[in-house]
């Protein structure tokens, strides 16, 4: 399995650490791009840092903030990034199958850790379907 990147602001710091632990337990390679303390910081700094990495390495990444919304707004400003803010497992599966989502956004203050980890597992393991969906994402 390919390497993944993860980043958060202070609002997503705890959930980010839980996701890292969860993925490491499954031997999935994950690089933490910060933040590294729970001190207040600005989510766009981390969204941009992660998106540059994902674009440069053609990999995928996970962004966590309080709601998941700020991170998704910032990430989707990057051409080539298809960031999906997911609060349920159906969306996590469909956004991989149909949108080839390369960034998953989660909100620590919205989605409990148990559900968030299920969303991560599904999003990581689901492959893009291609075909007519490739034509559609090329039109974005």
Residues classed as catalytic = 65, 98
Could you report how far apart the first and last alpha carbons of the chain are, in Å?
Answer: 27
**Interface mask (CB under 6 A) for ligand RB5, residues 10-49, using x and -?**
-x-------------------------------x------
Angstrom distances, CA of residue 16 to CA of 32, 52, 58, 135: 9, 19, 21, 33
Asked whether position 111 contacts ligand RB5 by CB under 6 A, the answer is: no
| Count of residues in the chain | 140
Of 19-27, 29-37, 66-74, 117-125, the window that binds ligand RB5 (rule: CB under 6 A) is 66-74
69-98: contacts with ligand RB5 (CB under 6 A)? 69-70
Tokens linked to 71: 């991170």
Asked whether 129 and 98 are in contact (CB, 8 A), the reply is yes
**Shortest gap between Cβ of 28 and ligand RB5 (angstroms)?**
25
Q: What is the DSSP string of 23-34?
A: HHHTT--EEE-S
Residues near ligand RB5 (CB under 6 A) are: 9, 11, 43, 65-67, 69-70
């Amino acid at each position: 399995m390919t390497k993944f990147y993860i980043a958060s602001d202070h609002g997503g710091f705890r959930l980010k650490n839980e996701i890292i632990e969860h993925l490491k337990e499954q031997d999935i390679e994950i690089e933490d791009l910060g933040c590294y303390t729970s001190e207040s910081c600005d989510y766009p700094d981390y969204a941009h840092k992660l998106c540059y990495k994902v674009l440069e390495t053609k990999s995928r990444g996970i962004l966590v903030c309080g709601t998941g919304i700020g991170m998704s707004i910032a990430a989707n400003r990057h051409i080539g990034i298809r960031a999906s803010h997911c609060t349920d497992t159906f969306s996590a599966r469909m956004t991989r199958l149909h949108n080839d989502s390369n960034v998953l956004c989660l909100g620590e203050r919205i989605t409990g850790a148990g559900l968030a980890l299920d969303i991560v597992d599904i999003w990581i393991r689901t492959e893009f379907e291609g075909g007519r969906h490739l034509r559609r994402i090329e039109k974005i």
